Structure 1
Amino acid sequence: MPTRILLEGRPGSGKTTAIRRLAGLLRARETVGFTTEEIRTDGARIGFALETLSGERAVLAHVDLPGPPRVGRYGVDLGVMERLALPSLVWSAGALVLVDELGRMELAHRPFEEAVRALFSADVDVVATVQAQHGPFTDALKHRTDIEMVQLTRANRDALPAQLAARLTR
């Protein structure tokens, strides 16, 4: 049975850092997927970039993007989801898929939501991050019996990547 883990944490808890560290610890295993990170100027968050584990990067959301869609004050470029996120979720047998994150910006792209739904039904190991806030799609995932929920906090975020890597190493 595949491993399916959701890392749940509040904003700033270290979800992206944990996923990146986990990917770095699993160099011997094929790992695909993407991370997102804040774009800051003078200490203020102005957007988010998406970066595939293979190194492709683009601005996913920004205060200067018009949208639609808009999530909060950010316009979201759904083309980035199409060009980078979706192709990064293609895996082969034995791979691990890392997704950071299943948030409102990413899930605004319906094909991505469908791909994630298929991913969590496939015979593949998955570790994905989600915010603690409620959402219909992520709430449904959180309540599935085949998914392990792991709370990510500032207290456990440094040790957690190594613990997960030990479990996911084949």
Structure 2
Amino acid sequence: MFLENTVVKKNIFLTGKPGIGKTTGIKRIISKLDKSRIKGFITAEKRNRNERTGFLIKTLNDKMAYMAHVNFDTDYKLGKYFVSVENINKFMVQSMNPDKNSLIILDEIGKMECLSEKFKTMVLKVLESSNKVLGTISVSNIKFIKDIHERKDTEILNVNLKNRDKLADKLISSCFLDEFR
């Protein structure tokens, strides 16, 4: 498990069931770091009267757009959600362009995001860069996602009810994030 290894990998992703606290952990970590050295995006649910109606993209430079919504008119549909590949390209892809010495936040790499070829290309560029990457990733049969899970420079941490509160604190205090405090 993370922190028990002598070598810390440069890309760390949280995974686990939907709603388990992956994004909450990422937000908690971001709140403790130097915001001027962080790039990327966070995703969030949009609800209307306790019913999930869509998903928002929130870039770390304060831009926001819908990634998916039940009432969109797009050619891409997953479940009841119509996905805006245009917004993924415009907001997510642009938010993660690697700069020297930045921490790149990718919340999340999932099925909707993988509908964009530009997104997948940029994720690979970021993972191959000298930048450290912290994000969330789904468990999926999609080849792109499975390939990230298997990368040698990437550590995947499973979030569950027992470790979700401690995991963010361990990451915050780890040498992985030292330069971003």
TM normalised by structure 2 equals 0.88
Q: Aligned pair 1:88/2:92, yes or no?
A: no
Q: Distance in 1 between matches of 2:55 and 2:108?
A: 11
| TM-superposed deviation, 1:91 | 2.9
> 1:72-87 counterparts in 2 under 5 A?
72-87=79-94
| TM-superposed deviation, 1:154 | 2.4
* Equivalent residues of 1:32, 1:96 under 8 A apart: yes
* Equivalent residues of 1:63, 1:75 under 8 A apart: yes
Classify the secondary structure of the residue corresponding to 1:10: coil
In structure 2, the residue matched to 1:97 is 104
* Equivalent residues of 1:29, 1:96 under 8 A apart: no
Unaligned runs of 5+ in 1: none
Q: Distance in 1 between matches of 2:132 and 2:68?
A: 28
Q: Distance in 2 between matches of 1:154 and 1:56?
A: 31
Classify the secondary structure of the residue corresponding to 1:114: helix
Q: Aligned pair 1:30/2:18, yes or no?
A: no
Unaligned runs of 5+ in 2: 1-7
> CA RMSD of the aligned region, Å?
1.6
Structure 1 residues 74-94: Cα deviation after superposition (integer angstroms, max 9, x where no partner) = 001112112211111023221
In structure 1, the residue matched to 2:178 is 169
Classify the secondary structure of the residue corresponding to 1:169: helix
Classify the secondary structure of the residue corresponding to 1:158: helix
